[in-house]
Amino acid sequence: MAYLTTTASGQPVLVLKEGTTRNRGREAQRNNIMAARVIGEVLRTTLGPRGMDKMLIDSLGDITITNDGAAILNEIEVEHPAAKMMVEIAKTQDDMVGDGTTTAVVLAGELLKKAEELLDQNIHPTIIVSGYRKAAQKAMETINNIAIEVDIDDRATLKKVAVTSMASKAVGPAKDHLADIAIDAVRKVAEKRGDKWVADIDNVQVTKKTGKSLFESQLIQGLVIDKEVVHTGMPKNVERAKIALIDSALEIEKTEISAEIRIRDPNQMKAFLDQENKMLQEMVEKIKASGANVVFCQKGIDDMAQHFLAKEGIMAARRVKQSDMEKLARATGGRIVSNLTDLRAQDLGVAGLVEERKLGEDKMIFVEKCKDPRSVAIIIRAGLERMVDEAERAMTDALSVVSDVIENNKIVAGGGAVEVEVAKELRNYATDVGGREQLAIESFADAIEIIPKTLAENAGLEPIDILVELRASHGKPDGQYKGVNLFTGKVENMRDKGVVEPVIVKEQAIKSATESATMIIRIDDVIASTKPKE
């Protein structure tokens, strides 16, 4: 229907075109809050080490089994605009810190639920938003006050952080093995810039292959290139490799303009072909002169050039991805060369071993035994394809949290301990603020307790009893580390139990959840245009 209004004289005025729908006031707020809360409810049962998994089937019939918040929201196709904002929270959380996506979305859903109760009491959205923002600020201060500083060389603590991040994943007893791999990988790629440590996990290449078991996942001191040696006559194994990284084609370039060559004599034809071969041979001679015995080329390698390289005993791979070329440069200490004329011995990378191996059905080139690789590879193995995928997600989480701690060396206790402590401080702070904002801050405190409550629910415990016990223990001195042990059902010191998480993950979850909740609360009018007809 068209959206009509009338002038004082009763003349109809067409404002919005036909087919436009409009919801406003409480109806718009209710619809938005309900849609966003549904997303939170979907993820709630996946939270924590006793959380359940979701089976997702896409339009092509591909199956994903996971309890990773970001992966679930990535797979489901969300239609409602408010619900899409919840998906964005998970994406932001994943991009920024790599973990805590479920926490962020569940918290946002609960903040909206509490906001709806306040709206029903006729508290204005602006007051709720203001209260929530003050509460989020206070929550950050509290988290930083109770944070524990970590020495980044303390391997035991880094391992606890990595194992905690994988606790909810279905990797079972292989957690310790994968955690050790993650720590070694991040330490290799971490570098000091000024006073700060930077650990960019994009420099860790994760390759997954079905077959063998999770325990046979391994860290390679170098890289694995998903290509095979281009020519059967080339060596398949080169020790003490000198590696040339070339991003131009080892081919004769075709002219951009159409050219016609008139050949009247068979000798001219031979001379023409010989000249082409000579040019290719010169290219190979330049590579040999530099001392290289392995070539990784980002573009194509002509069949004749392959023949000459094989003759010289040089191993070569072509059409290597740009990202892999950059990682090879970091791993081997080589430089990527665009022009063969510029190739010098000092541009070559070095590796103890370059070898073509068969992994499952595929042949791959392993670049190993690099002296001090600034880029490394992890090969994940498991017997089932779904398991390999889940192990990859677990490994990504572990890499992310270890790099978070190396970049920002503070951790907090898990198991709901930090949330209950934040809620306690917020309730004290709310009375200082007073007025109607006090109600919003108290609602924020109630909302953040959804995390320990959900953890307990998912473990089959009695959430109210656990929450009462947690609040009581946090009222005592030295109670800030008390959380719920989901395997015994008791309230225990989570720091001593080794259940710890990076501060930055918790902070980002609260920031993302607060921002999206406040944005949805402030919307009081939804005007939707019709989709154009196909």
Q: Rounded CA gap, 381 and 494, in Å?
A: 31
Residue 363 — φ and ψ, nearest 5°?
-95, 140
Residue position matching structure tokens 């390999």: 388
Catalytic residue among 45, 64, 101, 157: 101
Closest CA to 44 of 92, 122, 103, 123: 103
Q: Rounded CA gap, 522 and 86, in Å?
A: 15
Contact assessment for residue 367 and residue 331, using Cβ atoms and an 8 Å cutoff: yes
The yes-or-no answer on residue 102 being catalytic is: yes
Q: Which helix (H) or strand (E) holds 326?
A: helix 322-332
DSSP category for residue 211 = B
The yes-or-no answer on residue 58 being catalytic is: no
The yes-or-no answer on residue 68 being catalytic is: yes
- Residue 404, helix vs strand vs coil: helix
Q: In one letter, which amino acid is 383?
A: G
Catalytic residue among 99, 324, 397, 404: 397
The yes-or-no answer on residue 62 being catalytic is: no
Catalytic residue among 46, 53, 64, 68: 68
272: left (phi over 0), alpha (psi -120 to 50) or beta: alpha
DSSP category for residue 340 = G
Q: How far is CA 216 from CA 174, 205, 362, 378, in A?
A: 10, 17, 18, 11
Torsion angle of C-alpha atoms 401, 405, 410, 414, degrees rounded to 10: 20
Residue position matching structure tokens 């192990």: 391
Could you count the other beta carbons within 10 Å of the beta carbon of residue 166? Answer: 25
Catalytic residue among 46, 102, 332, 396: 102
Q: Rounded CA gap, 261 and 210, in Å?
A: 53
- Residue 365, helix vs strand vs coil: strand
Q: Which helix (H) or strand (E) holds 359?
A: strand 349-359
Could you count the other beta carbons within 10 Å of the beta carbon of residue 157? Answer: 18
Q: In one letter, which amino acid is 131?
A: G
Residues in contact with 387: Cβ distance below 8 Å, sequence separation at least 6, in sequence order? 170, 214
- Which residues are known to be catalytic? 68, 101-102, 397
